[in-house]
């Protein structure tokens, strides 16, 4: 697409020597006939570059974690789950969020994980964990389908995870998987029971 800018003054070519921003304007796409117009086009270019940078930042976040940007509801549920698990099982489990696991083929970053309780080793903190947690919890985002969520399970179980939960905010429900293809469904005011890990949670407190 060619953009032609017109000036009220008599049309003339803009000389690069008298136009300090001429070299910043993409060649071949614009016909510039005044300094005012060239400055306007440079401003548009700068706005486009800022938008591209913002889009790239979002993409890097999503690609790095293989999930969409979290929303308020997503973050609130994640915080509630972490709080309830730590409140009730702090002597049994180490609760953590956004831990990168060395699953195949590219790694996975669950919203919440549980490891057996142990003191934190501040001298050894790998960016990618090769030891499997006991539990992974994934919270569905609005842009993710049920199939997207289920596809995460097999790599986790193959990695050595014992139990996987999928949280569905719209239903205020949690699916508790004890294997890639078998789950128990809990919702509303029910008490979630993970028999494998001997965990019970009041769903009203998770979704409040």
Contact 45, 26 (CB under 8 A): yes
pTM over 0.75: no
- Closest by CA to 71, choosing from 142, 162, 148, 160, is 142
Domains of the chain: 3-65 (no CATH), 72-206 (3.90.1570.10)
One pLDDT digit (tens) per residue for the chain, 208 residues: 444 444 444 444 444 444 444 444 444 544 444 555 665 555 666 767 656 655 455 455 555 556 778 799 999 999 999 999 999 999 999 999 999 999 999 899 999 999 999 999 999 999 999 999 999 999 999 889 999 999 999 999 999 999 999 999 999 999 999 999 999 999 999 999 999 999 999 999 999 9
The per-residue pLDDT for 69 is 86
Secondary structure class of 110 (helix, strand, coil) = coil
Would you tell me how many other CB atoms lie within 10 Å of the CB of residue 139? 25
Tokens of 70: 């979290």
- Cα(first)–Cα(last) distance of the chain, in Å? 52
Q: What is the DSSP string of 65-98?
A: HTSPPP-HHHHHHHHHHHHHHHHHHTTTEEEEES
């Amino acid at each position: 697409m060619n953009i032609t800018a017109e000036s009220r003054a008599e049309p003339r070519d803009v000389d690069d020597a008298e136009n300090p921003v001429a070299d910043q304007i993409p060649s071949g796409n614009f016909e510039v006939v005044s300094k005012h117009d060239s400055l306007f086009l440079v401003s548009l270019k700068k706005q486009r570059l800022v938008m591209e940078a913002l889009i790239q930042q979002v993409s890097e976040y999503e690609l790095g974690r293989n999930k969409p940007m979290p929303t308020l509801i997503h973050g609130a549920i994640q915080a509630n789950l972490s709080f309830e698990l730590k409140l009730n099982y702090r002597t049994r489990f180490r609760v953590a969020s956004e831990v990168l696991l060395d699953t195949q083929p590219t790694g996975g970053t669950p919203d919440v994980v549980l490891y057996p309780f142990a003191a934190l080793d501040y001298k050894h903190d790998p960016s990618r964990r090769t030891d499997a947690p006991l539990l992974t919890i994934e919270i569905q985002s609005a842009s993710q389908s049920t199939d997207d969520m289920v596809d995460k399970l097999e790599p986790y179980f193959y990695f050595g995870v014992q139990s996987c939960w999928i949280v569905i905010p719209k239903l205020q429900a949690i699916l508790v998987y004890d294997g890639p293809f078998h789950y128990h469904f809990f919702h509303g005011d029910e008490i979630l029971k993970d028999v494998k890990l001997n965990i019970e949670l009041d769903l009203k407190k998770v979704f409040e």
